[in-house]
Amino acid sequence: MATAAAAAASITAAASGILYRCQGRVAFLPKFLSLAPNRDTAVGISCHRRRRFFTCNALHKAEFRVKEDGEPESLDYRVFFLDASGNKVSPWHDIPLHLGDGLFNFVVEIPKDTSAKMEVATDEPFTPIKQDTKKGKLRYYPYNINWNYGLLPQTWEDPSLGNSDVDGALGDNDPGAFELYYAVDVVEIGEARAKIGDILKVKPLAALAMIDEGELDWKIIAISLEDPRASLVNNVNDVENHFPGTLTAIRDWFRDYKIPDGKPANKFGLGNKPADQDFALKVIMETNDSWAKLIKRSVPAGDLSLV
């Protein structure tokens, strides 16, 4: 990404170090190399070469803003993301995932209490948010979604991989036939209604292993740090205590939303129950690692845009 990465780059944690996306290149720094002292909370990055190392130093938090093209609820409508210099960036690739201390950035695609099926266009340059279509027509859910919904940046559910923790969930056996959307989904349960393109700091609380036509589609349950009850919830039991019935309502919503279109109900692995916070963090780290392999072109990208 020549224009976007000139002013910003992306951080993601890897198993034994930090993977950077910077000036269109991906560089890996072992953990023992010291970066900026406030790296965990930094978003802005400046990049330079030092001897034989390709390094990126964290600066102050960069600001992202959105730019709308076209009219909402039209085929041409797009929500692009811009960095502090006004250059287009990808909400999937260039917004950092990790904020440190088990906190993550969350990109809102669908605000709560709306039904337009918005999603990051993973096959278009700079992966803007658009409304999904089917046979040339805009898609809507049969009823409103009751929570803010979107994605974790810098994650990817590799369709060629199965998951040993979830019975009955298979990957796509053709690694070149990717669906257009495989970033990890987030259901944010806070009380405030966000806007399309908002970037919220969230705390994962649980994970649902939805199985959609035989393929695994994780749903991470999280809460915005700005929610008044955020400090009270840290695990599945806390959600039940402070948001009673919410986990069941989320599972039932995603189980049933395709039924009005004549499709069967979705199923869930892991005993049809939400997994705990530790499991959710495991899912995030594994899918972040898959994204890193995609960006480094260790796996085929198919029609996915890496810009």
Cβ burial of 177 (10 Å; 0-12, 13-18, 19+) is exposed
Q: Specify the fold of 65-295.
A: Inorganic Pyrophosphatase (3.90.80)
Cβ contact 151:184 at 8 Å: yes
| Residue 230 to residue 212: CA distance in whole angstroms | 30
Q: How far, in Å, CA of 158 to CA of 215, rounded?
A: 11
Q: Which of 20, 77, 140, 141 is catalytic?
A: 141
Catalytic annotation on 141? yes
Q: What is the mean pLDDT of residues 186-204?
A: 98
Q: What is the mean pLDDT of residues 93-111?
A: 97
Say whether pLDDT at 10 is over 50. no
Between 15-24, 85-94, 129-138, the lowest mean confidence (pLDDT) is in 15-24
As a whole number, the mean pLDDT across the chain is 81
Q: What are the b/e assignments for 99-109, b being 16+ CB within 10 Å? A: beeebbbbbbb
Per-residue CA distances from 200 to 50, 96, 184, 246, 290 (Å): 34, 12, 15, 20, 23
Confidence of residue 169 (pLDDT cuts 50, 70, 90): low
| Res. 7: pLDDT tops 90 | no
